[in-house]
Structure formats: C-alpha cells, structure tokens
Structure 1
C-alpha cells in the first residue's frame, strides 16, 4: 500500500489531488485546517476505497506539524509528500502596495508552511534512502507579478528551495518535484479580478500533476505556452517586463490571514 501525504487537502488543487489519488491500495494522509471540509474530503476518499488519516493542522505551527508527520511516518512510511497548502493575497488600484501583515501572512503559509512540511518528511525519508517530495509553486514564481508581490516572492522561494535540495537528495534516492501551475479555478482565487488565460479546473490540474509525479519529473509546469512565455518575460529588460505585467484594473483581495507570533 502506498502512503501519500497531501497538505491543503480541503480545497482547490490539494482537494483535487486527494480525490485523484483515492482508491484501493492507497493510504492518504490529508492535512487541512477546516475540520468540516477535511472530514468531507476524507469521506469522499474513503468511499473510493482509500484508507485515510485526516490531520487538522496549522502548518505555521512547526513543532506540531513535525510531530504529526513523524508519528504518521512511524506507523506507515510516507512514500510521497505533496506540500500544497497556500493562500493568495495581492494589490489593487486602491491598494498598490500590500500591507506588512498580509505580506508576512503569505510568507508564513506559502513558504514556511512548505518548509514545515518538507523538513520532517525528509528527516524520515533520508535514512531509508527512498521517497518523493513535491512542492506546489506557481508560474508567478518565475517572475514577480505586480498584482501579487508577496505571493510571487513566496513561490519564487519555494522554487529555489526545491531546485537547491534536488541534486543532493537525488543521490540519496529521493526525488524532488516542483509543481508550477498556471491559472486554476479554485475557491482561493474566485474573488480575484484579473485576466486568467488558459484557466483550467482543479480536477484537470490534478491529473496533469499526478502524471508528472508518477514519472518523478523534476519540473511539472503547465500550461506549456504560459510557462515558456514567463520564462521569456524573465529574460526581457526589467522595464519592458514591468510594462507588460502592469494591469491597473487587476484586483487581488488582501488576505485576512495573519502570521503566528
């Protein structure tokens, strides 16, 4: 039986991945903060034949997260961990600069939440010299978006972290995958007012990610045309890139989440 850990399993891509992986012969460790939604997705996964352990955790709480992951791994070794939890925050014409509280909240969840998931998982996998960890970044991690500077910063850091640890872990038999999706319809971004070219639903995104993870691909980025476009944009002179991305009509609501102190 394969054991898969998925954070952010109560909504969006994380929920879609949980449902995609659910089936006979699968043990799912599903992590989320909303108890009702966590139980709902756990029930759906069990109905598909999966064995499910639901963990109501706040990934900002480093010690509690590490203890839970270590306990689950001691019971059944984790084969794959997908760090998917995250929030979105940004700017608008009325709020051209993000507040300090929103910026720190995004970093606490989108960056440190990933680190707090991956570090204890690797501590368990490395002595076995096998396993697979995956981190959900974003195409926004390829080039800073004026509409979401903190989100872009967090995702860029996730990209650098995944790329930085990948070579050494490969030598130890552990695969590292970086997932960089484009626009995906999720409750997380339903209030965002902005163009969303080539947007897809979460179920389709999960299928693409699953195929990439099954192949232990180092980089899973889609849609390809947006990925290549942002790669090119990052190579352009900064002033030109700024002009192309600056959209005064875009409104990305500021998060109400706050950093845990």
Structure 2
C-alpha cells in the first residue's frame, strides 16, 4: 500500500545525507532542511560542509556535520553506528561519489583510480545501505536513496571504473529493495545524467541533457515520497539504456569508442 506523502514527510525527522558539501548532496540537504528536522551531513571538506549546514540551520533545521572519506569503509560504518546511537535514521540519502575519466595518453584508467572509485561509489555506500536496511527492517520503516548514474547502463571505455562502480551499486540497490520491501523499508535508486556543476563539466555533454542539482533534488524527493523504486533523469537516458541493449554489439562498440577521444582529454 502506498504511503501517504504528507505522513511520510512528517515522520522523516532524522535524515542522513552523504556528499553534502557540494553538488547534488548539498542541494538535497538544503531541500530537506525544515523546522523539526535533524540533518546528519557527511562530506570530506569540513569548510564547505559547514557552509551548507549553516544554510540548513537558517531554514530551521538542526544540522550536524561529520567530515570523513568514504574510501575508509570501516570508519564510515563506525560513524553510521554512532549516528544511529543518537537516534534512528528515517531517511538516508547516500549521495557521495566520485567521477573520473582515463588520463591523457592512457588506454584505461589507473589501477589506483579503479580501487578508489570502487570503494567510494560502490563498496562503502553498499555496506552502509545494507546496514541501514537491516536496522530499518527491524523498526518496520525507513527510506534509503542511493545515487547511481545513468552511466551505469553503458560500458564507457574512457570511464570504466566509474560506470562499473555505479553498475554494481544499481544491482545492489535493486536486490536490497526486493529484500526489505516486505518489512516496510523502501529503496530508491536514482540514475542522473550530467550536472551543471564544475565537476560535472569535466565530462562535456549537450546543454539539453544537463540539469541543475536543485532540479534533480526536488524530483528525487518527490520520487521518494511516492515510493518509486527507480528514477532516471532526464528520461532520455532511460530510452538510451534500451538503445544500448538493442544495438548489435559491433555497432555499440564503435559508438562507445567514438565518444572516448572527446572525453579522454578532460583535465
């Protein structure tokens, strides 16, 4: 049975947002800032994180900050346990992530980049989501939002580690959703396209495909209230996913390789 959006919004008093210092994470933190809510804001950069927290406090929310690097999975899980000890998390938005493309003169990405993207984009958020899912299932309620990427549906030769890590997160999100839905817990996978941010501009994209983080944040919140299992933005990328599947392999491979030189020169 679909939960009433107003009821769901009302019970979300304690909200965790990772990657909250900039981009989509910051936009999501500001979107959810309201009187009576406690925002648990995580990111690596303490100065930028505190600036976002100040905006949330001006909106009437209580904002608590935590500076950490999700490449340290054990530290992230310990921090999550500490946050839960202070009160049950009603909504967890795992928005932290890293993007990358192969460097100039390389055929593929460096091994160290593959490790770091795997940890930050998949291993740590996946472990956090699993821990939260278990805790929320015991309580019989809760929402988890995992921020993937539209790139997860494509074998990008210039960003194999990024696409691969996000593909792993997508599969895990769907598996968790199936597991915890009978226990009153909802899992939403978000697959956004490129953002109009300094980081997002490292990978050029047509202006008509680029979205402001605030626009995406509002639609994520709406999808979460509705109990949607998946949200792809813009919708064009949902259609592109089917094109990727239906193209003959050789044609698809040529198309992906044609994209690579343009991306590979990103600084």
Q: Taking structure 1 as the reference length, what is the TM-score of the superposition?
A: 0.91
The alpha carbon displacement at 1:193 in A equals 4.2
Q: 2:30 aligns with which of 19, 23, 37?
A: 19
Any idea what the Cα deviations from partners look like across 1:160-215, whole Å, max 9, x if unmatched? Answer: 00111211200111101100001112232233345565101111111111111111
The alpha carbon displacement at 1:110 in A equals 0.8
The alpha carbon displacement at 1:51 in A equals 0.9
Structure 1's 252 and 114: CA in aligned 2 closer, same or farther, altered over 3 A?
A: farther
Specify every segment of 5 or more residues in structure 1 that has no aligned partner in the other structure, as ranges.
Answer: 255-261
For the residue of structure 2 that corresponds to 1:178, the secondary structure is strand
Given that 1:194 and 1:250 are in contact with CA atoms closer than 8 Å, whether structure 2 keeps it comes out as no
Question: How does 1:242-253 map onto structure 2 within 5 Å?
Answer: 242-246=253-257, 247=259, 248-251=261-264, 253=266
The alpha carbon displacement at 1:223 in A equals 0.8
Number of the residue aligned with 2:89 = 78
Specify every segment of 5 or more residues in structure 2 that has no aligned partner in the other structure, as ranges.
Answer: 1-10
Structure 1's 8 and 67: CA in aligned 2 closer, same or farther, altered over 3 A?
A: same
Counting helix residues as a fraction of each chain, which structure ranks higher? 2
For the residue of structure 2 that corresponds to 1:180, the secondary structure is strand
Any idea what the Cα deviations from partners look like across 1:125-147, whole Å, max 9, x if unmatched? Answer: 12112111111111111122122
Any idea what the Cα deviations from partners look like across 1:104-139, whole Å, max 9, x if unmatched? Answer: 111111111212321332232121121111111111
Number of the residue aligned with 1:162 = 173
Given that 1:194 and 1:251 are in contact with CA atoms closer than 8 Å, whether structure 2 keeps it comes out as no
Number of the residue aligned with 1:48 = 59
Alignment of 1:9 with 2:9, yes or no, is no
Any idea what the Cα deviations from partners look like across 1:191-244, whole Å, max 9, x if unmatched? Answer: 334556510111111111111111121001111122212222123222111222
Given that 2:130 and 2:176 are in contact with CA atoms closer than 8 Å, whether structure 1 keeps it comes out as no
Given that 2:15 and 2:91 are in contact with CA atoms closer than 8 Å, whether structure 1 keeps it comes out as yes
Runs of 4+ that moved beyond 4 A: 193-197
Q: Taking structure 2 as the reference length, what is the TM-score of the superposition?
A: 0.89
Q: Report how many aligned residue pairs link the two structures.
A: 254
Structure 1's 225 and 193: CA in aligned 2 closer, same or farther, altered over 3 A?
A: closer
Structure with more contact order per residue of length (Cα contacts < 8 Å, sep ≥ 6): 1
Number of the residue aligned with 2:214 = 203
Deviates more, 1:201-210 or 1:52-61: 52-61
For 2:122 and 2:265, locate their aligned partners in 1 and report how far apart those are by CA, in whole Å.
Answer: 19
